[in-house]
Structure 1
């Protein structure tokens, strides 16, 4: 039993060290000093008193008289604490990265605006961006299409008008805002007429035309 308790104690100290790596609140000297304490029960009490625990967990640790069970429960608490702290640190790091990215984009825009002012392009670009914003809003695009359009517009706003990609994005936005996303025509499923049109306008291509007619026939049956 003593060997098993010693093993649990060793694991508890290792877990506590990992907790200290995730947080600067724990005193490293205190952790190092725990190795010199002979009474394992005292070690468990000190660890429990220096980490963040739910009231119910503290109560449970006080109730556990068996030292092996107390260390086992304490180690589970430490492992859960490490998992929680790592998740919180990961979220904080992501938030910081996002903030840094936003700041970087802000500075880039400022630099681009300064360059445009030097070149006398500011008014021209601003007017064009505003035009596209108005068109995107006016055409009431589907939500997923609007997201794409706004992303492309953001890219356009940081480009030089002389760049080749600037023209590509303009053409793409023009295509997006001119598609009648919310307008529909009534289907005309006259099979004979469709077959005549296909035969007249598309020489050969028998297999593709058969597939088109099959598709329309099924659509007609489904109503």
Structure 2
């Protein structure tokens, strides 16, 4: 999302916004890696909770990322630096998905089959690209919606390619189904908590995001 990119831009050398679109992220990330020298990759942003005890705003640092049939480990040295610098962050596994995992039942099933505590739509792509390019990678995510909640239809509307929400379509969805407004407001509050947590992480880590290979 564009909001995620704004938070990390001050401390990362280069940012890539995938706009919750797997093919677009792969294309943009591959293009970014052809220019300049890259010492590591960070998957950064919001995540959905899979473990039932994760509150909105919880910061998760991944020790692994998995999709069916594949699993990648994050860089141990870099990960340890993150853990030392990010007070209150938890270490857990991440499930990757090319599509939103929108219902409580689907999240329960994903948690049961993978053992992951959170899910997002970018970390597996970053992990795969890092493996292809022989680069270290880490994952910094903040929970925006808990495992016990369903995402309202308006929250599933695709983003613009620049990562901004499509407000006209969101308003049209609300007009058709006004009953989803309480869930949408709850999600907005939880997302604000998650964004605040991510901002705190960036302030704690500073330029280079504690990457031991940055200098």
Q: Return the TM-score normalized by structure 1.
A: 0.18
- Structure with bigger strand share is 2
- RCO (CA 8 Å, sep 6+): is it higher in 1 or 2? 2
**Structure 2 length-normalised TM:** 0.18
